[in-house]
Amino acid sequence: MGSSDSIALPAVEWKREFLEDTELRRLVLEHYDQDAVPILRYVLFLGVDSETGQDIVQESFLKLHKHLLSGGERQNLRAWLYRVAHNLARSSQISFRANRATPLSQGTDNGDLKATDISPEERLLADERLRQLRNGLTQLSSAQRECLLLRTQGLKYREIAEILNLSISTVGENIQRGLEKLKEVV
């Protein structure tokens, strides 16, 4: 046996173990169905372009597979996934800062507020409100923006604290101050 045989063997065992463990597969697929889209929205909000964001989501779930296969902790996997995606997004921004990041001011307007059956006045008001919200978000600190976004994704303060590596009280303070600033602007 050459050295390449010993390197390939663990990968084959890893794949076999994953395929045989239906509970593990179910758990990963359940989290993917529940969390893939919200995590993608989160990393897009952080300023990562769509293609890189999709790669980050996939990489996050690959890391989840490896984490679970190695016997990693199974509690609070949602927060674990967000933390991994957060770290991958920040690493991506550092690596590709100038040419790959989308500024927050451009955002990812997917037209959610623009329905075809609303009047021009309603559309104008919705656009103005969106502009004010974006302007308000740019006035928040990055910690306030991230805490608010994660909270809108339904995460609890404890989970947000885990993801951003902050204390729970700091998360609460960032959310409170961020909301106060947004109320002033919007």
User: Hey, what domains does the chain have and what are their CATH numbers?
Assistant: 1-102 (1.10.1740.10), 112-186 (1.10.10.10)
pLDDT at 3: 44
Residues in the chain: 186
Check whether 62 has a pLDDT greater than 70.
Answer: yes
User: Is the per-residue pLDDT at 60 higher than 90?
Assistant: yes
Q: What is d(CA 137, CA 143) in angstroms, rounded to the nearest whole number?
A: 11
Which residue bears the tokens 């800062």?
97
Does the pLDDT value for residue 173 go beyond 90?
yes
pLDDT of residue 115: 47
Measuring CA to CA, how many Å separate 79 from each of 11, 39, 45, 75, 158?
A: 27, 10, 17, 9, 9
Cα(83)–Cα(79) distance, integer angstroms: 6
4-18, 54-68, 113-127: range with lowest mean pLDDT:
4-18
pLDDT the model gives residue 16: 55
Q: How confident is the model at residue 20 (pLDDT cuts 50, 70, 90)?
A: low
- 3-state secondary structure string across the chain: CCHHHHHHHHHHHHHHHHHHCHHHHHHHHHHHHHHHHHHHHHHHHCCECHHHHHHHHHHHHHHHHHHHHCCCCCCCHHHHHHHHHHHHHHHHHHHCHHHHECCCCCCCCCCCCCCCCCCHHHHHHHHHHHHHHHHHHHCCCHHHHHHHHHHHCCCCHHHHHHHHCCCHHHHHHHHHHHHHHHHHHC
Least confident window among 3-12, 68-77, 145-154, 173-182: 3-12
pLDDT at 114 over 80: no
Check residue 17 and give its pLDDT: 53
